[in-house]
Amino acid sequence: MLDNINEIVEAFNFEGEILEIKAYGNGHINDTFRLTCPSNKYILQRINDDVFTKPDQLMDNVEMVTSFLKEKIKEEGGDPNRETLSLIHCKNGKNLYKDSHGSFWRAYDFIDGTLSYDLVEDPEDFYQSGLGFGTFQSRLADFPIDKLNFTIEKFHHTPSRYEAFMTVLHDDPQGRAKLAQPEIEKIIKQKDFVHTLWDLNKAGKLDFKVTHNDTKLNNVLIDEASGKAICVVDLDTVMPGFALDDFGDSIRFGASTALEDEKDLEKVRLDLELFEVYVKGFLEGAKGSLSDLEIDLFPVGAKMMTLETGIRFLTDFLQGDTYFKTAYDDHNLVRARTQLKLVDEMERQWDAMNQIIEKYR
């Protein structure tokens, strides 16, 4: 699997001999492994340094955010070892190891007895994920935001994502644009919409908060015994952002009736029951930290993040699949199609989404 695994494992403070190393999870960016020792399990991750070009700054963010969360969790009487990630440091005290091939590695305690999902099986789990991500935001509401490094510049700056798409479409380096004409047209139709949140920000109406920025359902761990959302993971993109990005990204992934890479678009729908339970959970977790405008804009956030992710997948398809991991040739095109179908679905069910929000605000 990895010719230098012994070197990497040796660098970290793992307790006991390693009995098993297994590729783990379904992330599109990093490489994740689960390590089993006689009395403990660990997560070992290779950070994708094409995507995260400053891994040391990224780890500073993770260190600051997890320490801050641990204090909050202790104050609330919770379990700081299960309710946020715990870094395992290297034997030299650092939180990052650069191996002899130049790859960057970090490790966490494995939070046992938990599950994460790629598709909602029970609406209660999606309610729990809303509560989990909402709580994440309220716990970090007084985190000193200026201390955070930008691990990816303009990560959710949708207008820049649109511009990058138009550039690659113009260059069409792989000659793939002809395979995606309906999808390209759908994106171009949204050229004014992409500015909505950033225009409000410029007008001083929408502030930055400490946000997670990758609130997919599989980035929250659900406790098997209690069924509660116990821990938000994947902290690489915790940065200043809009609360609506976190709300919206969860909806685009979790309130869909199908996987992100479902090929049969008939199966891809926006499930309003799931939308509703997420609204309820996120508002409860956010504990009054959201403004009226943010709540009003929930449907905009959902559509924005879905459209943005569609744009990113299609950009990567046109570029030749250089960013997201893919399993087959048109994987990114298939993913872009599901996102754009969901954008249609959201437009169709706009009023119904607003009615649901009125019930819970």
**Whole-number Cα distances in Å, 234 to 61, 168, 247, 257:** 12, 29, 16, 23
Site map 2..41 versus ligand ADP, x via CB under 6 A: ----------------------xx-x-xx-x---------
**Closer residue to ligand GN1 in complex, CB, 280/312:** 312
Task: Yes or no: say if 9 and 105 are a contact pair by the CB < 8 Å rule.
Answer: no
Query: Can residue 234 be called a binding residue for Mg ion (CB under 5 A)?
Result: yes
Task: Yes or no: say if 111 and 87 are a contact pair by the CB < 8 Å rule.
Answer: no
**Closer residue to ligand GN1 in complex, CB, 127/313:** 313
Task: Yes or no: say if 67 and 78 are a contact pair by the CB < 8 Å rule.
Answer: no
Among 45, 158, 190, 219, binds Mg ion (CB under 5 A): 219
Footprint of ligand ADP on 217-236 (CB under 6 A): 218-219, 221, 233-234
Among 33, 104, 105, 108, binds ligand ADP (CB under 6 A): 108
**Closer residue to Mg ion in complex, CB, 214/276:** 214
Query: Can residue 249 be called a binding residue for Mg ion (CB under 5 A)?
Result: no
Residue 307 corresponds to which amino acid? L
**Closer residue to ligand ADP in complex, CB, 50/266:** 50
Q: Which entry of Mg ion, ligand GN1, ligand ADP, none binds 85, CB below 5 to 8 A by partner kind?
A: ligand ADP
Task: Yes or no: say if 270 and 255 are a contact pair by the CB < 8 Å rule.
Answer: yes
Query: Can residue 198 be called a binding residue for ligand ADP (CB under 6 A)?
Result: no
**Whole-number Cα distances in Å, 89 to 41, 53, 106, 264, 326:** 15, 21, 8, 44, 31
Tell which residue, 361, 244, 216, has the closest CA to residue 302. 244
Cα(5)–Cα(14) distance, rounded to whole angstroms? 13
Type and span of the H or E element at 22: strand 20-23
Cβ 253 to ligand GN1, closest distance in Å? Answer: 7
Phi and psi at residue 55, to the nearest 5°:
-60, -30
Residue 304 corresponds to which amino acid? M
Cα(229)–Cα(116) distance, rounded to whole angstroms? 9
Q: Which entry of ligand GN1, Mg ion, ligand ADP, none binds 116, CB below 5 to 8 A by partner kind?
A: ligand ADP
Report the residue closest to ligand ADP, judged by CB.
27
Residues forming contacts to ligand ADP in the complex (CB under 6 A) are: 24-25, 27, 29-30, 32, 43, 85, 108, 110-111, 114, 116, 218-219, 221, 233-234
